[in-house]
């Protein structure tokens, strides 16, 4: 996407004479959305409206909740969009570990494409000036050769239904931006870890705490991750930075890790040093194929790197939290929740 000027000011030099911008956050009760809402509430430059599928989450008093129901092509967004300056669309149907739909792509398209387009059309009609869309690095592809990370402007190559739906959503938003003049910002995030993380990352922490020896002591791959605090900081930057308008950015911590290094540093973070056995990656991949677990082996042994050079150069953004601090934060809440 091409650069366009924006009337919003950079956070480095906020204009205190400008009224607080109203930001609508979808997926406000989710892992990323809830952290973003908390960050925006703490920043007096914003008034926050939280779009929720159903009542339940306890939100800060400064947050205005709006119930939207299930997300699809018929969701009524107009009441939630009144007087909104910026939409951050974090709600999505995410990758399913145990997919139950007989037609996964159709299910992903319903939420990630059709519902997104419905929201974006309503936002443009309501005068929203910027639409920030949280996408995935999987739009670029599933893996990278050693030393050749994905770049933001590489041709997309999504493989699974989730990534295909996100790519299609990006395309519809770009077209809408051209047709309406509403600014669109796309952020493609890799695996996100932080306080409250679940799924595969939480499973890794449980394995490390159990003390079970893991055959992952000699995996020489590289994977880009991003801590929750860093992703939220990047989203806030994209809410306001003039140079973010009509651009696609890749997200990351700025330090890529091998699986072996991640386990060692995560073990240090939770206070249980990783017990790793040096097994060649090729053996792990062959055994995984025998048991029909090729995808797991690819995540453990393959590389998936994102070059965040465009993000740091165009926005002047740097990840505020280093990897080890981010891992300690993730581990600290997980310890409390045990």
Give the active site residues.
Answer: 162
Q: How far apart are CA 144 and CA 153, in angstroms?
A: 15
- 């739909």: which residue's tokens? 101
Helix (H) or strand (E) holding 35: helix 31-42
| Contact between residue 37 and residue 62 where contact means Cβ atoms under 8 Å apart | no
Q: Cβ of 295: how many Cβ atoms within 10 Å? A: 12
Cα 252-256-261 angle, rounded to 5 deg: 135
Is there a contact between 237 and 130 (Cβ–Cβ < 8 Å)? no
Tokens of 41: 């509430």
Sign of CA dihedral 121, 126, 129, 130: negative
């Amino acid at each position: 996407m091409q650069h366009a000027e924006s009337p919003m000011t950079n956070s480095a030099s906020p204009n205190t004479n400008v009224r607080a911008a109203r930001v609508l956050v979808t997926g406000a009760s989710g892992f990323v959305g809830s952290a973003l809402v908390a960050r925006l509430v703490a920043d007096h430059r914003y008034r926050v409206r939280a779009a929720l599928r159903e009542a339940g989450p306890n939100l800060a008093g400064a947050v205005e909740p709006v119930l939207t129901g299930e997300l699809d092509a018929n969701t009524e967004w107009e009441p939630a969009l009144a007087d909104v300056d910026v939409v951050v669309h974090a709600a999505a149907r995410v990758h399913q570990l145990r997919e139950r739909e007989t037609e996964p792509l159709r299910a992903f398209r319903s939420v990630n494409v059709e519902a997104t387009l419905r929201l974006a059309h309503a936002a443009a009609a309501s005068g929203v000036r910027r639409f920030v869309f949280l996408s995935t690095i999987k739009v670029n592809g599933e893996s990278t050769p050693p030393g050749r990370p994905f770049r933001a402007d590489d041709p997309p190559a999504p493989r699974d239904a989730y990534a295909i739906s996100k790519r299609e959503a990006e395309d519809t938003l770009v077209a809408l931006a051209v047709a309406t003049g509403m600014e669109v910002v796309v952020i493609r995030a890799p695996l996100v870890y932080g306080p409250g993380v679940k799924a595969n990352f939480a499973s890794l922490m449980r394995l490390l705490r159990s003390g079970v020896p893991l055959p992952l002591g000699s995996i020489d791959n590289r994977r880009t991750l991003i801590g929750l605090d860093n992703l939220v900081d990047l989203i806030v930057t994209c809410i306001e930075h003039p140079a973010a308008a009509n651009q696609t950015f890749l997200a990351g911590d700025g330090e890529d890790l091998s699986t072996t290094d991640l386990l060692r540093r995560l073990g240090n973070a939770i206070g249980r040093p990783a017990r790793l056995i040096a097994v060649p990656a090729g053996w792990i991949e062959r055994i995984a194929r025998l048991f029909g677990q090729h995808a797991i082996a690819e995540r453990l042994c393959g590389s998936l790197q994102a070059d965040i050079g465009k993000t740091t150069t165009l926005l002047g953004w740097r990840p505020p939290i280093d990897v080890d601090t981010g891992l300690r934060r993730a581990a600290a809440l997980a310890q409390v929740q045990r």
